Structure 1
Amino acid sequence: MTITPSNHGINTSLGDEGLGQQPWWVEQWMELINSYRYKKRLERAWTYAREGNVTSIRFEGRRVHARVQGTGEDPYKVKLWLDVLNDEDWRYVLEALTQKARWSAQLLAGIMPADIERAFAASGRRLFPFKLQEVRSECSCPDKANPCKHISAVYFLMGERFSEDPFVLFQLRGRTRTKLLEDLAEYRRKALETLAAEAAKHADTPSDPSESTVSADNEQPTPPHPAVLDPTLWWRYDASLDADLVVITPAMEGDTGLDAAGELPLAEEPRFPNSKQQFLNHLRSQGQALGQQALIAAMTAGGG
């Protein structure tokens, strides 16, 4: 994978507009390099990144290869990489990701979940480097400092790539986008099969108490609620209600299921920049209309 750096790179604290308009994962990446104590070197690196001195950046597997034109005749060769997670670490991460459908949905939409580190915590590892020293780097320039201005220039431009595709961070940790999504699909398939097997096991449990396993106190076990075996009973309530105790009111203004769900991980469509907002507005109007119909139906039933 090769990208051509533009002269209008990402905003950093050294830029004019700061970090406010960047995705949070880009901000976190930038915080590391901006913590570097040699500010003059960073200013020089930002100039290199902004003025096109980084002539190429290639993301090859788990490493980033770049060429940066310095004061010499030939560009310097730069390498950056992160420590990768082994298969056992990734197993813990994938199991954690599988447990929350929201994480998978956001990643599929190109959004980095704000609490993604919770999934990595299961393996005792991190997705983002905790400190700048965890970003491994090499440069062919004679400067003994690390990171030098050439490495730092590449570091700045890597944030631009992360903004476009957060999966690059996973790639640097040892899982490409394709591999990660394939593994997620496989883990989710296995999880669904396990749930189905458990449901079938409960369905096959004999209803005769004499055939059931008794507890250690020789007491018959409490039978499960019928809704456990028949999900269609979840939304039924057959007991009678005292009409004086039932109060039917409309929802508070602006309080809809869509509002309660929070921001939905919808992908953006560049060809139709307003499509996402139009879709959300349509959902909101639908929710309000259906809520009004439900209120009318409830009031009518109550009156009868």
Structure 2
Amino acid sequence: MATDPQALSPDRQQWWSERWISVLESFGWRRRMERARIYVREGRVLTLEFKGNQVHAQVQGTAPAPYHVTLHLDAFTAEQWQYVIDSMAQQALYSAKLLAGELPPSIEEVFTQAGLSLFPFTKFDIHSRCNCPDPVNPCKHIGAVYYLLGQRFKEDPFLLFQLRGRTKDEILRQMRHSRATPESQPLPPPPLLTYTPPKTDARFWQYTAPLPADLVVLVPPGQPDAVLSVLLPLPHENAGEASHLMNCLQQMYNTASLAACQLAMSEPLEPSD
């Protein structure tokens, strides 16, 4: 497959295509990549095809028969892809851009948030082979495939995803499914609890029978009040006012406690008319 040399001009490449090449050159392969660029301009990459997440290419070298090049990246797991696709499905921008043949620059952040890297992170992330006699990897033939892949990514950004294990149809199908699945609805708030006091007459609070002695526990007034001791600090803006209010409550409890003791030790009151 011959390639138009003008198709690789930097001003016509998209950012993800340039990023692919810049990442590879950052691995210290700049000199070999320059020689590989000449191979691409001369149309020496005869075929280039994807088989799953693997790339197979025929590159014409100096020998009569072309050399066979294969390469692939480590594919992401199903769980990793599910996280990425669910994240992309939450924003319509990604669906619109991908269908238009574009990659928004923020796409890398989606993979980063999942602890992944869309582009090769190190040179060990790329697994490539060539049957030429050159012992150095990448050789000119592998480098030529790298460059041509950058051009193919420009034409179809989904091919970059395919190197990571998901085809265009699989990604779009999963994105449609994620967008169509209704999110779990939040539970409605519980109804407000209201208290309605029972309807009673004036004698409801009167108890005329003597209390059994074994049920009466007298607490001498002046001891720390059990109820007040377990309360949290009163939520008052003024600490002095909160302290004053607590003292008032303690006095009320002491008064009530004393009255209860006197009532328990006295004769039952006669019911009033």
TM range (shorter): 0.5 to 0.7
* Aligned residue number for residue 259 of structure 2: none
Which one of 183, 189, 192 corresponds to residue 194 of structure 1? 183
Q: Does 1:168 align with 2:159?
A: yes
List alignment gaps of at least 5 residues for structure 1: 12-16, 212-216, 218-304
* Aligned residue number for residue 177 of structure 1: 168
Secondary structure at the residue paired with 1:66? strand
Q: Does 1:97 align with 2:88?
A: yes
**C-alpha contact 1:62 1:173 (8 A) present in aligned 2:** yes
Equivalences for 1:89-238 in 2 at 5 Å?
A: 89-190=80-181, 193-194=182-183, 197-198=185-186, 201-202=187-188, 209-210=192-193
Equivalences for 1:270-289 in 2 at 5 Å?
A: none
**C-alpha contact 2:59 2:68 (8 A) present in aligned 1:** yes
Deviation (angstroms), 1:46: 1.4
- TM-score normalised by length of structure 1: 0.59
AA in 2 matched with 1:115: S
Matches of 1:9 and 1:83, distance apart in 2: 31
- TM-score normalised by length of structure 2: 0.66
**C-alpha contact 2:13 2:151 (8 A) present in aligned 1:** no
Matches of 1:57 and 1:80, distance apart in 2: 11
List alignment gaps of at least 5 residues for structure 2: 195-230, 232-273
* Aligned residue number for residue 4 of structure 2: 7
Q: Which has the larger radius of gyration?
A: 2
RMSD across aligned C-alpha pairs, in angstroms? 2.2
Count of aligned pairs: 195
* Aligned residue number for residue 52 of structure 1: 43
AA in 2 matched with 1:32: V
Matches of 1:109 and 1:40, distance apart in 2: 35
Deviation (angstroms), 1:38: 5.2
Matches of 1:176 and 1:38, distance apart in 2: 29
Secondary structure at the residue paired with 2:135? coil
Deviation (angstroms), 1:75: 0.7
Deviation (angstroms), 1:95: 2.1
**C-alpha contact 1:127 1:170 (8 A) present in aligned 2:** yes
Deviation (angstroms), 1:134: 2.0
Matches of 1:99 and 1:124, distance apart in 2: 18
* Aligned residue number for residue 23 of structure 1: 14
Over 3 Å counting, the alpha-carbon distance change for 1:97 and 1:40 in structure 2 is: closer
Matches of 1:126 and 1:170, distance apart in 2: 11
AA in 2 matched with 1:119: V
Matches of 1:112 and 1:29, distance apart in 2: 13
Larger relative contact order (C-alpha < 8 A, sep ≥ 6)? 2
